[in-house]
Chains A and B, each alone.
Chain A
Amino acid sequence: MSDDHHDCCDHHGHHHELVIENVSVSYRRVLALENISLATSCGNRVALIGPNGAGKSTLLKAIAGLVPRETGSILWRGTTVKKWSREFAYLPQREDVDWSFPITVRGLVEMGRYPQTGWWRKFSTTDSLAVDKALESLGLLDLQDRQIRELSGGQQQRAFLARSLAQEAHVLLLDEPFTGLDRNASQLLGELLNKLAHEGRLIIASHHDLNSVPQLFDEVLVLATRSVAFGPVAEILNDDLIHKTFNERAIPK
């Protein structure tokens, strides 16, 4: 663990801890996740790695409340999260988004305020300010009137990140955020996630490129339906373990 993340918790004056205990998920009686447990805190960037079908997306969705958990509990800042917490934001995989939906960047970010405004309350100045701030901090003010398909891959990721900032989310759950980004955009996104973690957020992202894990993340959970290993990247990520988890030739070198 880096020193930075302790700084972050001092900065808040609290320890914002996420404790996941024995979470299991099944799709139509097929076990997708079995007894996953982990404990981490804000300021960290956690990578979920594992072979295809290991349950990376499922774990993100289970934390976000998008798929029902069969067993287990999720504790955030000492409180049990039953189904969904406003402080959790889920960022879908790129191919799961309907990019041709007629919505502007600003409209998308405004959706992040819906949990606060509820179904009927009008947008207040606070809401508009939160949207402005989110757009500004991600450098999207100039692009706010663009339809979401008219953005580059990196800008699209930032638009969804802006929505989670407008939502005032603390835990960002990203499904393969680096997939499909070119080198430059990947680097920018990496720096951005680093900055967001420094500001006290907890980043959890599924990731498939093992080589970039050490630069981009602080902690790593190796998944293969069960939890294979969890801990600081430097301690966990060794050739032996990778070989065991991805037991075919599928080790990207």
Chain B
Amino acid sequence: MDFDLLHNLFYQRALATAGFIGFANGFFSGFVVLRRNALSVSALSHTMLPGIALGIFLTGSLSQWNAFFGALFAALLVGLGSVAVARGNRVEQGTALAVLYTAAFAGGIALLPKIGTRQELEHWLFGDIIAVGNTDIWIAFGIGTLILLVTNLLMRPILLTLFEPHVAAAQGVPVRFIQYLIFTLLVLALVSSLQAVGCVLSVGLLVTPAATVSLLTDRTSALFWGGGLIGGIGSIVAVLLSGSFGIAPGPAIVIVLGLLFIAAYLFSPKYGLLAPHHRSRINEKSK
């Protein structure tokens, strides 16, 4: 590791951003795992590309803000649109999401040749955490704090809604509001990780940490806090290591998180493939 780097302002900012985004998104990944909607997260993240393209197309230039609002707008439109369509009970949400996000993606592809900033779009696709500016840091911190605050304040109604929506509704929990809220926070989390890992890899940050924790424990609260810790520490370690291995920090973050997941999959004392109890547990279940 190159210790001079640690005194570099860009590098310090990159580390702080990675740690914070990793923690906030890792925390939120608990809800993604509980809702079992990792695939829709992936769909939403792809929706952000046409959103950014639209932002540039409408304003004529690429800036943090128009990309941010373009992505937010497209993701909200597709995400909330799919929830609204699915409320009719006729079309399942996954189906609605696939229809809307491929349509939006097609729109983005149609727009791409008209805006001529493809070079910089690459950067939105895969992120560049070393190049984070002050605006990016504030966006990431603001969104991360909002996610942590809102989810912690509403933890009980959110859990009830995820586990038993009908019972939650009967108890007076505004289930529809909570569902829209989770979706909105999810989109915000995706946008906040744009700068660090880009819209394609952001799925990794929003799914992998809690997926790893779910292999290690059955406690619901551990999914969130454990996911946050794995996301935060994993991201910082990845940025530190990325230089030594000569790979870009964004992919490094997602690779490190993926390796941690595989380690948990193999070695988890309770659910691991190589755990001593694994075989007997399966037998027990088949009885």
Partner-B contacts on A (CB < 8 A): 61, 64-66, 83-84, 90, 92, 97-98, 101-104, 107, 111, 114-115, 117, 119-120, 145-147
Contact = CB atoms under 8 A, between A and B. Distances in A.
Given A92-B164, A119-B157, A120-B153, A102 B170 contact: no
B170 A65 contact: yes
Given A102-B34, A145-B218, A66 B166 contact: yes
B172 A101 contact: no
B220 A102 contact: yes
25 contacts: A61-B166, A66-B166, A66-B167, A66-B170, A84-B170, A84-B172, A92-B164, A92-B166, A92-B167, A97-B164, A101-B34, A102-B34, A102-B217, A102-B219, A103-B163, A103-B218, A103-B220, A104-B218, A104-B220, A111-B159, A114-B171, A119-B154, A120-B153, A145-B218, A147-B218
B156 interface: yes
A108 B153 CA distance: 19
B219 A104 contact: yes
B103 interface: no
A113 to B, nearest CB: 10
B271 to A, nearest CB: 10
Nearest to B222: A102
B218 A102 contact: yes
A160 to B, nearest CB: 10
Contacts of A90: 167, 170
A106 to B, nearest CB: 9
Nearest to B30: A102
Contacts of A111: 159-160, 163
A107 B219 contact: yes
A38 B50 CA distance: 59
Interface residues of B, number: 23
B247 interface: no
Interface of B: 33-34, 153-154, 156-157, 159-160, 162-164, 166-167, 169-172, 214, 217-220, 223
The majority secondary structure among interface residues of chain A is: loop
B64 to A, nearest CB: 35
Contacts of A64: 167, 170
A145 B217 CA distance: 10
Closest 6 CB pairs of A and B: A147-B218, A65-B170, A66-B166, A84-B170, A66-B170, A103-B220
B254 to A, nearest CB: 23
Given A98-B163, A119-B154, 18 more contacts: A61-B166, A83-B172, A92-B164, A92-B167, A97-B164, A101-B34, A101-B162, A101-B220, A102-B33, A102-B223, A107-B220, A111-B159, A114-B156, A117-B156, A119-B156, A120-B153, A120-B156, A147-B218
B174 to A, nearest CB: 11
Contacts of B156: 114, 117, 119-120
Contacts of B170: 64-66, 83-84, 90
B163 A101 contact: yes
Contacts of A101: 34, 162-163, 220
A117 B159 CA distance: 14
Contact of A114 (B160, B214, B220, B223): B160
Contacts of B214: 102
Contacts of A98: 163
A90 B171 CA distance: 11
Nearest to B154: A119
Contacts of B171: 84, 114-115
A114 B160 CA distance: 9
A111 B161 CA distance: 12
Contacts of B164: 92, 97
A103 B219 CA distance: 6
Contacts of B219: 102, 104, 107
A92 B163 CA distance: 12
Nearest to B158: A119
Contacts of A92: 164, 166-167
Contacts of A120: 153, 156
